[in-house]
Every structure is written in structure tokens, then in C-alpha cells.
Amino acid sequence: MTQSPLQLTFEVGMMATVSAFVLAFGAAYFMHHRQFKGKRLLETVFLLPLILPPTVIGLYALIVLGNNGIGGFLPVTILFTKQANVIASALAAFPLIYQTIRLGLKQLDAEWYEAGRVLGGSERQLFTYVTIPLLLPALTSGFVLGFARSIGEFGITMMIAGNIPGETMTLATAIYMATINGDMKQALIWSGWLVGLAFLVLWLSERYGKRQY
């Protein structure tokens, strides 16, 4: 089934953000509560996509997902499919979500946990009734920032998903193709959709985030 760049961008953005959010939350929570040798090295790896060119991340993803990597053991091809779009956007969104949640965890007051333990609360209850409510603004911000990043992903997408019309062409890659083909009108139309979608997401986040404090 063919999809328009707008529809594909939204669907890929949501799937990628949810996937990256789950992984980032788990990683941030683990890193916050564990001390082990090589912790700083691992955290650096998590944050590398923030500073490396997307094409570099895309190159490594291409190698890993190709026939010489895990792609050679899979029954279906991932490269240049919608699934590759999701992986590309998730890779781009993960470090932003991770960093936001990690900073949120660092700001939690230990006194809340001490009070909860004194009152007889279990670790599960502390997580449910202390960590999650206090961390909700960071969780919301992380999800929104991740989604905003995922819908604008370009470099990694071009490396592992390509730009197949109706299949892997997102708004970002559609803008690129329209521009190099000299169709500035279409490029501006696609750009307008992307700007509008990002603006709406951030605006809603600002309104929702203020209610959490």
C-alpha cells in the first residue's frame, strides 16, 4: 500500500518515538540506579548520535542491518522498507529522549524516597507513586522532543531506507527530492507541512508541560 510523505512521516514518527521512548526510559533508569565499570563509556555511546553526522550513524546501521550483519540472519529484508524508516527515526530520537529523562532523574529529591520508605512503601510503590509523577514533565518533554526529531530525520533515513515514493519517502526526503528536481513550489508545500506539524507538537507540549509543575 502506497502512502503519502505526510502520512508516512506521522506513522513512522509515532512508531519510532514509542520504540525509542521505551528503550531510552529503560536505559536512563538503569544508568541512574547502577554503578559499574565502563558506565561513562556506555553513556557516551548512547549520546553519540547527538553529535555525529547522521550519515555516519546511517552507515553503521547499513552495515549492521545488511547481509553481512544481522540482516543476513533475518527471514525478511529490513533495508529500504518502512521498518528501516522506523529504525532510522528511532536512532535519531533515542539520545534526545534518553538525555531528557536522565536529567529529570538527576533532579529527583532523595528525601521523597526516604519519606516513602519510612512510611513502609515498597520499591515498586515508590516507582509508581513517586518516580513517575515527579518525572512526568521530563517524560513528556522527552517524548515530544523525540517525536519532533523523528519526523525531521533525513540522513540516517537516506542511508538505510532510501527515498522510494509511496513506500519510504518521508516529508524530509520529499523536500530534498523536490528541491534537487527544481520543484520549489512542492518543496515549500512539504516544508510547510513539516513546520506546521513540528510547531503543533511543541505548542501542545508547552501547554501540557506547564500543567505538570
Which residues are CB-neighbours of 160 under 8 A, at least 6 positions away?
58, 61, 62, 65, 78, 79, 80, 84, 87, 88
- Dump pLDDT digits (tens) for 22-40: 999 999 999 988 888 999 9
Q: Give residue for cell 512526568.
A: 136
- Dump pLDDT digits (tens) for 150-203: 999 999 999 999 999 989 999 999 999 999 999 999 999 999 999 998 888 888
pTM of the model: 0.89
